[in-house]
A = this chain, B = another copy of it.
């Protein structure tokens, strides 16, 4: 696949994830947050296009490209964290997509090639994106000298991700060579062929949320809340009309609970499906 098409698949993955509705608790096609709207997410996704193309062209390293992605959305005056987790998952996929071998295998090579420089760039991006403050073992952004600390540790970005893999969905994907993303990519194809594009994405999102509590919810509200949300996502799946998903959506919005990590996972899965020729 040529780099331009890879970038289009990446952007569409972000846009499809964003648009599917009701995607309980997240900005979707039918509602905004008070501080950040659908159009901000559209802008953030579009701003990443040249970065994905560059990645697919084999230029730039993983960490620097994630940093460029965050800087790109900031040139549009977006100050909130819009797509940080999605970038972290999707940049390595974009790099792998134009390599000669099978996607999943090439991805492993991309992750294993990351260096300590990637780790430092990742942390810079993390800080710029105002993502949730990471407390990774001894590597904390609360440490003013985090750059030195990371540098001295000599840890690669993949090694850092392994340290966070227990409590962060995105880091877990890195640590397991995207085991869930690839599995969910297959589910997406099945669900979309059964339920259509929108409901197929929503149902796969609910499945993912039911399966593993969302790490962004955990970080903000604790494990118990995250588990309760997962339980309700599972119940919502039993309803063919998605009526219960609507109810869950309203109640999460009221409590300002958003399963953002699961959304990042679904964006990555959609990207994989599109790279593999998903029709819709």
B8, B42, B77: the one within 8 Å of A47 (CB): B8
Contact assessment for B280 and A39 in the assembled complex, using a CB-CB cutoff below 8 Å: yes
A15 and B197 alpha carbons, distance in the complex (Å):
18
Interface check A74, CB cutoff 8 A: no
Contacts A30-B29, A49-B49, A198-B37 known; A42 to B77 CB distance under 8 Å? no
Does A81 make an interface contact (CB < 8 A)?
no
Shortest A20–chain B CB gap in Å is: 9
Which residues of A, 45-84, contact B by the 8 Å Cβ criterion?
46-47, 49-50, 77
CA distance A16 to B16 in the complex (A): 15
Give Cα A50 to B42, complex, Å.
18
User: Chain A contact residues (Cβ within 8 angstroms of B): what range?
Assistant: 20 to 34
State the CA gap A261–B279 with chains docked (Å): 28
Residues of A1-56 whose CB lies within 8 A of B = 4, 8, 11-12, 15-16, 19, 29-30, 32, 37-40, 42-43, 46-47, 49-50
Report Cα–Cα, A19/B279, bound state, in Å.
22
Residue of B nearest to A38 (CB): B19
Choose one: B29, B46, B77, B197; the contact of A11 (CB below 8 Å): B46
In angstroms, Cα B32 to Cα A279, docked, is 18
Residues of chain B lying within 8 A (CB to CB) of residue A32: 198
Partner of A50, one of B4, B15, B16: B4
The answer for the CA separation of A253 and B12 in the assembled complex, in Å, is 26
A19 contacts B42, C-beta separation under 8 Å: yes
Q: Say whether A43 contacts B12, CB under 8 Å.
A: yes
Do the beta carbons of A39 and B279 come within 8 Å of each other? no
* Nearest-CB residue, chain B, relative to A5: B75
Given contacts A29-B29, A30-B29, A77-B279, contact A39 B11 (CB under 8 A): no
Chain B residues lying within 8 Å of A197, measured Cβ to Cβ, are 37, 39
Chain B residues near A46 (CB-CB < 8 A): 8, 11-12, 15
Shortest beta-carbon distance, A82 to chain B, in Å? 14
Contact of A8 among B38, B40, B49, B77 (CB under 8 A): B49
6 contacts between A and B (CB under 8 A): A15-B42, A16-B39, A19-B39, A39-B198, A40-B280, A77-B279
Task: Give A residues with C-beta under 8 Å from B.
Answer: 4, 8, 11-12, 15-16, 19, 29-30, 32, 37-40, 42-43, 46-47, 49-50, 77, 197-198, 279-280
A-B pairs with lowest CB-CB distance, top 8:
A15-B42, A29-B29, A39-B197, A8-B46, A4-B50, A11-B46, A30-B30, A12-B46
